Amino acid sequence: MNFQLTEEQQLIEQSAHDFAKEYLDPITGQLDHTVEFPMAVVKELANHDFLGLHLPIEVGGAGAGFVSYVAVIEGLSRSCAAVASIMNNQAMASYAIQHWGSEVQKKQYVQALVKGETIGAFAIYEHGPTPGIGPDALVATKSDGGYALKGTKAYVRNAGVAAVYVVFAVTDPADPKSLTAFVVDAGVKGLRVGEALTTMGLKGCPVADVIFDNVTVPDTAVLGAVKSGGDVAARVLALASVAEAAQTVGIGQAAVEHAAVYAKQRVQFGKPVATLQPVQTLLAEAATDCYLARLGLRSTAQLVEDGKPFETEAAMVKSFLARLGSKILIDTCQVEGGMGYSETMPLPRLFRDIAGTTLLDAPADFPDYAIAASIA
Amino acid sequence: MPKCLVCYKWTLDEKDIKIKPGDLSLDTSRAKGKISDFDRNAIEEATLIQEQHGGAVHALTYGTSAVKQSLKDVLSRGPETVYWIVDNSAETADACVTANVLAAAIRKLGPYDLIICGEGSSDLFNQQTAARLGALLGLPCVTYVEKLSVDGDTVKATRKLADCTEVATVKGPVVVSVLGTINKPRIPSLKQVLGAAKKPNKEIKIADLGLNAEALQSKAVHKSVKGFVAKRKNIVYKEPNAAANVGKLTSSLAAEGVR
């Protein structure tokens, strides 16, 4: 049994760290204020093959595997979790199209997504409790040669900048299991993006509703089989949850490292606060949480890479981090005291970002439900 | 189309080295390896020359068994082949031994039109390897290079000296050592990282280099290495005005010999 990354995985992890230092560190603080989509950085992600990291070489990807993917997401998140979110949502769209798409869909979209020529988005959520249920649910009504889409998808990340959406709609409003995935170009008539949502963290990764006002798409826009959207969504969201856990670990690690440096520099009572036991306890617990979370995270990623069931383990990691993510930030802020609370320091941004990675996509108690269901 | 060789050293990453509080000795137990910083510039420069003029770039390293960790890293940065020499002598090798080993390997592998080294290694920074290589191989050596261009068999190098720059034009083959300002080493793309496994790495046995024991015997011996920790005196001057505080400060500095 080996818990270490392979030589290639270590080099890829190092590439992510070097990339983050070169391209993300200079913009992170600014992005938190301007909230502008960092297109130039996304292009660089593509130039360094990060956007196709998880995809096979035949479609232009790097074929690097899921362990490398989470190592990269963690590495990028240590500098800028918003960019990691953009990359993860791009990956959700490209993965779905590559795995369930027709040859025509793959040819049309996957390479463009890998090269960063096209931004993708994964539109699954709605304002109702689950897709297909609620007053504004997206419904795909069959028409001659295609479907008419009407309704709203909510909390769509990369919305507005995306040129292609992987969209989920029920084909029968009375049957949530009729959920079907579609690939829809942003420029089609009747599709519009709502006002950008001002988020607490992960600023720079845009979030908005996408409104479909009788958008007509051909039959060839269906991704996979009709009524198979639930399976597509479940698989992609499970993978995305592992990547989001990697974001949480990356943010937490960044907070621990910043607090440790600060504690060595900050002198109180005639000596650095790092020598005071209460501070040591805070740092030690936060570092331990990050270490254990990373072990669980990489073990889960290995299951994905080996083609084994991973959903329970992914839920465990998500649940663990949902409890501890915010605690890591509270503890590290505590180490930095009044200065740590200041917006001149990075911890407030990290605090807001970690809330995004632990709260989005699944409420904190949802993973526990999945874990319990798998063992009882 | 120049045939280039880049010499590089696999060193410990100084950011991972900790100083033990008691005896100030260095704790390297958790230090990862890295290609020495200026050597990355050397690799990048050779790769840029190849991209512009064609030819070939090979890499060469000498070290302990740890250098094996560097092979995919260096190949991901451009060179098409890496040659590596592993020997315990590298553990204590000074610049003289290193140059002896590298020169012997270059005689075996060469000829090369251009041999590029980093100006100094991240760990010892002796700044001797390139100059010694030039002497041992009977080649001209240009050091402190911050700009390099190749035109046929002529190399034009801008040297950054203490208070001026100097442009040297040399007919190859030539050894140059480059500064960190010469370029910005690329971050290898993932395809370059994964493609490195397909490039050849070839071991050269030190026994095949025809070096005698004296050539592998370091003249310089490091008896111990200790970390430097700045000790604060925590003196606070509490005079009633700034001028008096400054006066106290200058008196204190003068008492310590600061003029």
Q: Name the residue among A48, A63, A270 with its Cβ closest to that of B187.
A: A48
Closest-CA residue of A relative to B188 is: A15
pLDDT over 70 at A365, yes or no: no
Which class is A7-114 in CATH?
mainly alpha
Query: What is the pLDDT at residue A268?
Result: 87
Task: Give percent of chain B above pLDDT 90.
Answer: 83
- Note whether B187 contacts A: Cβ–Cβ < 8 A: yes
What mean pLDDT is predicted for residues A186-197?
96
Please state, in angstroms and rounded to a whole number, the distance separating the CA atoms of residues A336 and A119: 38
Q: Name the residue among A8, A19, A270 with its Cβ closest to that of B187.
A: A19
The pLDDT mean for chain B works out to 94
Structure tokens at B51: 């991209």
pLDDT over 70 at A87, yes or no: yes
Using alpha carbons, select from B194, B12, B8 the residue that is nearest to residue A7.
Answer: B194
Q: Do A62 and B194 touch (CB under 8 A)?
A: yes
Q: What share of chain A is helix, strand, coil (3-state, %, to 5)?
A: 55, 15, 30
pLDDT over 70 at A362, yes or no: no
Query: What is the pLDDT at residue B4?
Result: 96
Intra-chain end-to-end CA distance of chain B, in Å:
56
Please state, in angstroms and rounded to a whole number, the distance separating the CA atoms of residues B30 and A286: 20
pLDDT over 60 at A363, yes or no: no
Query: What is the pLDDT at residue A130?
Result: 85
Q: Which residues of chain B lie closer than 8 angstroms to A47, CB-CB? A: 189
pLDDT over 80 at A1, yes or no: no
Predicted confidence (pLDDT) per residue in B96-149, tens digit: 999 999 999 999 998 999 999 999 999 889 899 999 999 999 999 999 999 999
Q: Which residues of chain B lie closer than 8 angstroms to A49, CB-CB? A: 189-191
Element (H, E) at A318: helix A311-341
Please state, in angstroms and rounded to a whole number, the distance separating the CA atoms of residues A28 and A346: 9
Q: Do A120-227 and A231-375 come out as alike in CATH topology?
A: no
Q: Which of residues 323-352 of A touch B (CB under 8 A)?
A: none
Instruction: Decide the pairing of beta strands A146-157 and A207-218.
Output: antiparallel
pLDDT over 60 at B20, yes or no: yes
Query: What is the pLDDT at residue A182?
Result: 98
- The backbone torsions φ and ψ at residue B161, rounded to the nearest 5 degrees and listed phi first, read -105, 180
What mean pLDDT is predicted for residues A351-375?
79
pLDDT over 60 at A364, yes or no: no
Q: Name the residue among A8, A49, A62 with its Cβ closest to that of B197.
A: A8
Q: Which residues of chain A lie closer than 8 angstroms to B188, CB-CB? A: 11, 15
- Note whether A195 contacts B: Cβ–Cβ < 8 A: no
The CATH-assigned architecture of domain A231-375 is Up-down Bundle (1.20)
pTM (2 decimals)? 0.90
Q: Which of residues 71-100 of B touch A (CB under 8 A)?
A: 72-73, 76
The pLDDT mean for chain A works out to 93
What mean pLDDT is predicted for residues A37-55?
95
Using alpha carbons, select from B112, B94, B128 the residue that is nearest to residue B56.
Answer: B112
Predicted confidence (pLDDT) per residue in A8-31, tens digit: 999 999 999 999 999 999 999 999
pLDDT over 90 at A296, yes or no: yes
Which CATH number does the domain A120-227 belong to among 2.60.40.1120, 2.40.128.110, 2.40.110.10, 1.10.1200.10? 2.40.110.10
Q: Do B188 and A11 touch (CB under 8 A)?
A: yes
Smallest Cα distance from A62 to chain B, Å? 6
pLDDT band at B85 (very low <50, low <70, confident <90, very high): very high
Q: What share of chain B is helix, strand, coil (3-state, %, to 5)?
A: 35, 25, 40
- Note whether A25 contacts B: Cβ–Cβ < 8 A: no
Query: What is the pLDDT at residue A236?
Result: 94
Give the A:B interface size as CB pairs under 8 Å: 41
pLDDT over 60 at A90, yes or no: yes
Q: Rounded to whole angstroms, what are the CA distances from A162 to A43, A86, A112, B40?
A: 14, 10, 12, 37
Q: Which residues of chain A lie closer than 8 angstroms to B73, CB-CB? A: 11, 14
Q: Do B193 and A19 touch (CB under 8 A)?
A: no
pLDDT over 80 at A103, yes or no: yes
Q: Which residues contact B114 (CB under 8 A, 6 or more apart)?
A: B2, B3, B4, B5, B46, B49, B150, B155, B172, B173, B174, B176
Q: Name the residue among A12, A22, A270 with its Cβ closest to that of B193.
A: A12
Q: Rounded to whole angstroms, what are the CA distances from A256 to A252, A325, B19, B86?
A: 6, 12, 20, 38
Pair A30, A86: CB distance under 8 Å? no
Query: What is the pLDDT at residue A151?
Result: 97
Predicted confidence (pLDDT) per residue in A113-171, tens digit: 999 999 999 999 999 888 888 889 999 999 988 999 999 999 999 999 999 999 999 99
What mean pLDDT is predicted for residues A244-268?
95
Structure tokens at B27: 């704790």
Task: Give percent of chain B above pLDDT 70.
Answer: 100
DSSP letter string, B86-113: E-GGGGT--HHHHHHHHHHHHHHH---S
Element (H, E) at A212: strand A207-218
Q: Which residues of chain A lie closer than 8 angstroms to B76, CB-CB? A: 11
Domain chopping of chain A, boundaries: 7-114, 120-227, 231-375
Q: Which residues of chain B lie closer than 8 angstroms to A59, CB-CB? A: none
Q: Which residues of chain B lie closer than 8 angstroms to A68, CB-CB? A: 190
pLDDT over 80 at A360, yes or no: no
